[in-house]
Amino acid sequence: DTGVSQNPRHKITKRGQNVTFRCDPISEHNRLYWYRQTLGQGPEFLTYFQNEAQLEKSRLLSDRFSAERPKGSFSTLEIQRTEQGDSAMYLCASSSPRGVNSPLHFGNGTRLTVT
Amino acid sequence: AQSVTQPDIHITVSEGASLELRCNYSYGATPYLFWYVQSPGQGLQLLLKYFSGDTLVQGIKGFEAEFKRSQSSFNLRKPSVHWSDAAEYFCAVGAPSGGSYIPTFGRGTSLIVHP
């Protein structure tokens, strides 16, 4: 169990640029979640995959945001035409297919700063 | 839709003192409930979870929580706090989705430990 890996750890970009984050879940975890966390707040749900299928999307996920998990392994989260309000920590989590009560394992996140 | 309220933004305790962090949830069915801890710049670590059964749940690092349906609460407790417990604590309620669940988090409580 090497843990959930997120890259990059930090990203600074200018407003209007596109950014892409990567999440590598724990091996054999078929469920993968993306959350966004702003300063002083709890994580807010963005989207959820089971294998390669995107089963849930939050209203927070505007059309500038897109997430993929093409082979049911790693996932990418892309933000197009970034805005200053997109500055946040983006967290990825995964969980095992063994039972409905499998806990979520979180990565250390990617901190995005939009200037 | 489910929601979580953590009424205390900051809690300050002395090392060795007891601790109780409050959490109230809103959910129409039997909830899945969780407490997570987050150290600065890190992801979230699961402390404990409740799905069913015994309403007093034991977790890691000496933490416990009690589910009280009548009060819609899931308060976190520890009998003796250590300086290393200083962190951000998040309560979450899980909504079933596709054979799993999607946690909704509260805004968090920051724990400060005085020597």
pLDDT tens for each residue of B32-63: 999 999 998 788 999 999 988 899 999 999 99
Query: What are the distances in angstroms from CA A44 to CA A9, A35, B11?
Result: 19, 5, 23
Q: What's the rounded Cα separation, in Å, for the pair A21 and A112?
A: 10
Q: What's the rounded Cα separation, in Å, for the pair B29 and A102?
A: 19
Tell me whether strands A10-13 and A110-114 are parallel, antiparallel or unpaired.
parallel
Mutation test of the interface with chain A: which of B30, B32, B44, choosing the one with the most A Cβ atoms within 10 A?
Answer: B44
B98 pLDDT above the threshold of 80: no
B30 pLDDT above the threshold of 90: no
- Rounded to an integer, the average pLDDT of A5-24 is 97
Q: What's the rounded Cα separation, in Å, for the pair B69 and B82?
A: 30
B40 touches chain A (CB under 8 A): no
A112 pLDDT above the threshold of 80: yes
For chain A, the C-alpha Rg in angstroms (whole number) is 13
A85 touches chain B (CB under 8 A): no
Query: What are the distances in angstroms from CA A8 to CA A11, A19, A112, B112?
Result: 7, 11, 9, 30
Torsion of CA A40, B44, B37, B26, to 10 degrees: 70
The two three-digit tokens of residue A85, written as one number: 């309000």
A58 pLDDT above the threshold of 80: yes
* pLDDT over 90 percentage in chain B: 78
Inter-chain CB proximity A50 and B98 less than 8 Å: yes
**B37: exposed, middle or buried (Cβ count in 10 Å: 0-12, 13-18, 19+):** buried
